[in-house]
Structure 1
Amino acid sequence: MASGARPPFTLVGFKHGFVRAQALAPGVLLYGVVFGILATEARLSALESVLTSIFIYSGSAQMAALQVWRDGAQLLPLFAAIVLMNARYVLYGAALRPWLAGTPPLASYGTLFFLGDGNWALAMAERERGQDDAAFVLGSGIAMFAPWIFGTLIGRLSGGLIGDPARYGLDFMLIAFSAALLIGMWKGKADLGPVLAAGLAAAMLAPFVSSGWIIVAGGLAAAAAGALLFRNPAPSEALP
């Protein structure tokens, strides 16, 4: 695509993105079911659970928010946890700017509303392969948004049928799911610093503050450690 030209935004690109993202949809559906079940424990109604998934639309942020809500529903740490966990979308948006900057505002901001971790990574990979139709991002986003909402509803309704999730050990799902995410995101020894910083901050504050603030403090400590460790990358790691 020529520099400065408006990228195409077509139905063909939308369909291509929607189809390509189907491979990720089952995992998103399962993740939504987990959130819905945990929402039962946090005493959110089915409507509240679905609206949370619609307007926050971030598994990690919603899991953190559930922990805060369950331990007292303090609004300030609740908002802080959501903002902190979703801060990565600032970088996602910046990475997509060369692709979406030339599209009409409605198409551009509508696409960003449906942006998630999986379809962002998929879209960036497609762009590297030469895909220039910006509607790919929207199509792949909706392909993941729909199972997330449907999974949330399934989980919340099934959680209501089984009663208290703690009776079956399902209250441990948040910890287990967070551990699984950590393992999946682990890239090597370089990640140890932020993990240790988060753990240390959480351990130091645990006797004094609610779990909501512990999540916020751990996230800030990990971000600070990551910024310090990767501020001056080794020559072999530097971008060309």
Structure 2
Amino acid sequence: MTAAPVSFTRAGVWRGFVLAQPLAPGVALYGLVFGVLAGERGLSWLQALLMSVFVYSGSAQLAALEVWASASGLAALLLTILAINARYVLYGAALQPWLAPLPRRHALGSLFLLGDGSWVLSMREWERGERDAGFVLGSGLAGLLPWLGGTVAGHLLTSGLPDPRAWGLDFMLPAFAAAIAISVWRGRGDLAVLAVAGVTALLLHRLVPGGWYIVGAGLAAGAMGAWRHGR
């Protein structure tokens, strides 16, 4: 049986946008948290918005805020983002059957807007027989809009408070990071990765000034995970 050819249509973009709407409230809340933390750490609303546009990764942006606050420099900031966003290389490779036949402008645009939720949704639809690659772009757009809106709303919320620390907003980053860790916990098999990341972070925090412990923990956890799954 011949597989259906891959296409890219406006109808596919719209279908992806509509089917991804259930993810929008969670994305908006995540953006709100980032906006609050960005304002608490001294970023302007425009800086926070541009970060959400060009980095477009909640976990990487939250970690980057910690590096920003520690004044570790541009190198540490970039390495933090690259280490945490390395998973998108695998996401892109998984989408290769879908995006490879497309013109480069369509493929790159879809990859630029790719998020965790839209990738999962797109892979599910591929397995169900969807062959309109506009779906990938549409589901990515559905995440981008609430992410940007949440970022601006969160920053405006912070700017209206005389002392964000009095409201406990300075604790939101570790609290939100802990919540993310719990949500992705898959059982005892993750203990080794968690232990390596924790020990690396503690050692670098004590031995190396600035936010390099975030970079080191991310790289160590990635290496440990790759080793475990490659055995």
TM value normalised by structure 2: 0.96
Within the alignment, does 1:76 sit opposite 2:75 as a pair? yes
Tell me how far apart the structure 2 counterparts of residues 163 and 198 of structure 1 sit (CA, whole Å): 36
Structure 1: which 5+ runs fail to align?
Answer: 233-240
Tell me how far apart the structure 2 counterparts of residues 184 and 210 of structure 1 sit (CA, whole Å): 30
Partner of 2:147: 148
Once the 2 structures are TM-superposed, how far is the Cα of residue 165 of structure 1 from its aligned partner?
2.0
Once the 2 structures are TM-superposed, how far is the Cα of residue 2 of structure 1 from its aligned partner?
4.2
SS in 1 for 2:166: helix
Once the 2 structures are TM-superposed, how far is the Cα of residue 228 of structure 1 from its aligned partner?
2.1
Once the 2 structures are TM-superposed, how far is the Cα of residue 164 of structure 1 from its aligned partner?
3.1
Contact 2:72 2:210 in 1 (8 A): no
> What's the RMSD between the two structures over aligned residues?
1.4
Tell me how far apart the structure 1 counterparts of residues 2 and 41 of structure 2 sit (CA, whole Å): 51
Contact 1:35 1:152 in 2 (8 A): yes
Within the alignment, does 1:164 sit opposite 2:163 as a pair? yes
Structure 2: which 5+ runs fail to align?
Answer: none
Contact 2:72 2:212 in 1 (8 A): no
Paired residue type of 1:230: H
Contact 2:5 2:131 in 1 (8 A): no
* CA shift digits 1:16-50 (9 cap, x unpaired): 11111000000000000000000011111010000
Partner of 2:42: 43
Tell me how far apart the structure 1 counterparts of residues 104 and 61 of structure 2 sit (CA, whole Å): 27
Alignment: residue pair count: 231
Tell me how far apart the structure 2 counterparts of residues 186 and 128 of structure 1 sit (CA, whole Å): 25
Within the alignment, does 1:21 sit opposite 2:17 as a pair? no
Identity %: 53
Tell me how far apart the structure 2 counterparts of residues 103 and 202 of structure 1 sit (CA, whole Å): 42
Listed as ranges, the matches of 1:103-118 within 5 Å are 103-118=102-117
Once the 2 structures are TM-superposed, how far is the Cα of residue 208 of structure 1 from its aligned partner?
1.8
- Runs (4+) of structure 1 exceeding 2 A deviation are none
SS in 1 for 2:91: helix
Within the alignment, does 1:135 sit opposite 2:122 as a pair? no
Once the 2 structures are TM-superposed, how far is the Cα of residue 194 of structure 1 from its aligned partner?
0.5
Within the alignment, does 1:93 sit opposite 2:112 as a pair? no
SS in 1 for 2:230: coil
Paired residue type of 1:111: S
Tell me how far apart the structure 2 counterparts of residues 43 and 120 of structure 1 sit (CA, whole Å): 32
SS in 1 for 2:131: coil
Paired residue type of 1:120: W
* CA shift digits 1:163-208 (9 cap, x unpaired): 3321111111111111111111111111110000000111122212
Contact 1:67 1:211 in 2 (8 A): no
Paired residue type of 1:136: F
Tell me how far apart the structure 1 counterparts of residues 90 and 170 of structure 2 sit (CA, whole Å): 32
Tell me how far apart the structure 1 counterparts of residues 182 and 226 of structure 2 sit (CA, whole Å): 21
Paired residue type of 2:83: L
